[in-house]
Amino acid sequence: MNRAVPLLLLAACIPGLATAEVTESTVTIERPGQDVIGTLALPAGDPAPVVLLLHGFTGSRNELMTEAVPEGIFARTAARLAEAGYASLRIDFAGSGEATAEMSFAETTFEGQIADALAAVAYLQGLDSVAGDDLFLMGWSQGGLVASATAGRSGAFDAVALWNAVATPVETFTAILTPATVEAGLAAGADEAVPVTLPWAEITLNGAFFAGLGAIDPPAEIAAYSGPLFVAQGSADDLVPPASADLFIAAHEGPEELWIAEMDHVFNAFATDAVLEEMIAANVAFFDAHAD
């Protein structure tokens, strides 16, 4: 259901974007325990094909804001998608962003986020304002892990994109969180909080998050999806091993594109928006090529 009056935006206010009329509204997707909050962006005209965007670990629906991308990486992506004729829904997973009324980030789990994403799929399929049969998916980092499972389990998408996506959760999160923290997390009870120090934040995670590290296999999840797959990977990514992209491509059977660039985990967005713009354009071209 809508929670706010739609906001009429001129996409021309974003540097470099051709004038395009887009209506954005905040929506609520009802979920047990914690509703999911999202931003639905609709280009002018008939109901458009729609892209679901899944944010990364400790992120939120607009994603990372930098001097080069002040509105946020996913807000920029949504604007570019609208320019290309795509609607989009970017969501806050339960416990993240604005979706924290009943659930804290500490309660985050992979399976919980997958359930949130599947609920968003059902929400989009029931909307009259989008072409609910023409669904696409983008996931960044941990959102890419979630996207792999959402794609494989739903069978709903015309095409899927994974951006610097986590393929090896144990390896990746041990490097991010430190081996000592992962060891403590694995020893904790499901509802027991474990303090975590990150380079960018101090957070807590419950033991259930750590138990999930070895319980999910993202390449095996994407293997259940045979539709078109776009995999973008940074050769300078210091959080997700660049070999992760190869694991997704090797596991997937179907049309695919591996897009490699000399970029870090955040697409060099602290310095420039050039690589992000190039990646979005390549991704949109891939979606266009595989649209119904």
What pLDDT is recorded for position 199?
87
Rg (CA), the chain: 18
What pLDDT is recorded for position 20?
64
DSSP character for 233?
Answer: E
Structure tokens at 69: 């991308």
Q: Domain limits of the chain? A: 7-289
| 247: amino acid identity, one letter | L
Helix, coil or strand: residue 227: coil
Q: Of 25, 131, 153, give the one whose Cα is nearest residue 78.
A: 25
- Exposure class string for 181-219: b at 16+ Cβ within 10 A, else e: bbebbeebeeebbbebeeeeeebebbbbbbbbbeebbbb
C-beta of residue 69 within 8 angstroms of C-beta of residue 276: yes
List of residues 6+ apart from 25 with CB closer than 8 A: 2, 4, 5, 6, 7, 39, 40, 42
C-beta of residue 33 within 8 angstroms of C-beta of residue 111: no
**Which CATH number among 3.40.50.1820, 3.40.190.10, 3.40.50.10190, 3.30.56.10 corresponds to the domain 7-289?**
3.40.50.1820
What predicted TM-score, i.e. pTM, was given to this entire model? 0.93
List of residues 6+ apart from 94 with CB closer than 8 A: 31, 33, 34, 35, 36, 103, 107, 108, 112, 113, 116
| Residue-level pLDDT, tens digit, the chain, 292 residues | 333 333 444 333 444 444 468 999 999 999 999 999 999 999 999 999 999 999 999 999 999 999 999 999 999 999 999 999 999 999 999 999 999 999 999 999 999 999 999 999 999 999 999 999 999 999 999 999 999 999 999 999 999 999 999 999 999 999 999 999 999 999 999 999 999 999 888 999 999 999 999 999 999 999 999 999 999 999 999 999 999 999 999 999 999 999 999 999 999 999 999 999 999 999 999 999 998 7
User: What are the φ/ψ torsions at residue 37 (nearest 5 degrees)?
Assistant: -105, 140
Helix, coil or strand: residue 245: helix
Structure tokens at 199: 């380079």
C-beta of residue 142 within 8 angstroms of C-beta of residue 166: yes
